[in-house]
Amino acid sequence: MPGNTIKVFGDKLESQALQKGCEEDIEKHCRRCIGKPTMRTLNKLRKYGIYVLFFMLLFAMVFQFSADLRQPAYPVFKMAETNGTNRIIIVVTPTYKRMTRIPDMLRMANTLSHVKDLHWIVVEDGNRTIPAVEEILKRTNLPYTYMAHKTAVGYPRRGWYQRTMALKFIRSNTSQILGKEHEEGVVYFGDDDNSYDIRLFTEYIRNVKTLGIWAVGLVGGTVVEAPKVIDGKVNAFT
């Protein structure tokens, strides 16, 4: 009996051990079967998640860039107010073909486009006008005149001939330039390679009665070039 009991008990232990071993094997097998696809799925999700995040960032950048392109070519500012005088400013600008001409004209256009009661006369040193320059003039929404006069023989290429042609045009078309809104005008020779403050037009040029001359900074390597005035008369330039 004792031997049988031990044997039976041993059989039970052996049976339990076998059963437990089978359960562990089954559990391990199930883990392997379930775990591998699960890890693959997680890896795929991580991989695709990175792609989705990348395309979302790319879309946001493209959207922002396209929004910037839709901005107006010229920033909108409050127009400078005149001092009440019924005068128009006629800006005469000689120009010629060069590498920096377009950015120079854009800079000047940005200034003049915010000055009220102004007519811009641009004279091309050549046989014909240039479409790119005229497009800049159109975008200012200013009344303008664009014409071409090639420098005549005997004139230096410094815009003198173009200014002379502009003055002839003004004398021949004064009523058209002034229109019904203005009684008189002031002519200002403004080069396209200079930078201008709006206050020069609104506070000074518009108030000129006969002749006005201002200092110019950074000319030909000098700090400033200005008229020397004695007793209200211009005697020299310093």
Q: Report helix, strand or coil for 155.
A: coil
Which helix (DSSP H) or strand (DSSP E) does residue 44 occupy? Answer: helix 2-69
193 is annotated as contributing to ligand binding: yes
Contacts 24+ apart (CB under 8 A), 169-178: 169/121, 169/145, 170/90, 170/92, 170/121, 177/88, 177/90, 177/119, 177/143, 177/145, 178/88
Residue position matching structure tokens 């410094």 = 158
Strand partners, 145: 121
Instruction: Give the end-to-end CA distance of the chain in Å, rounded to a whole number.
Output: 135
Residue ranges of the binding site for Mn(2+): 193
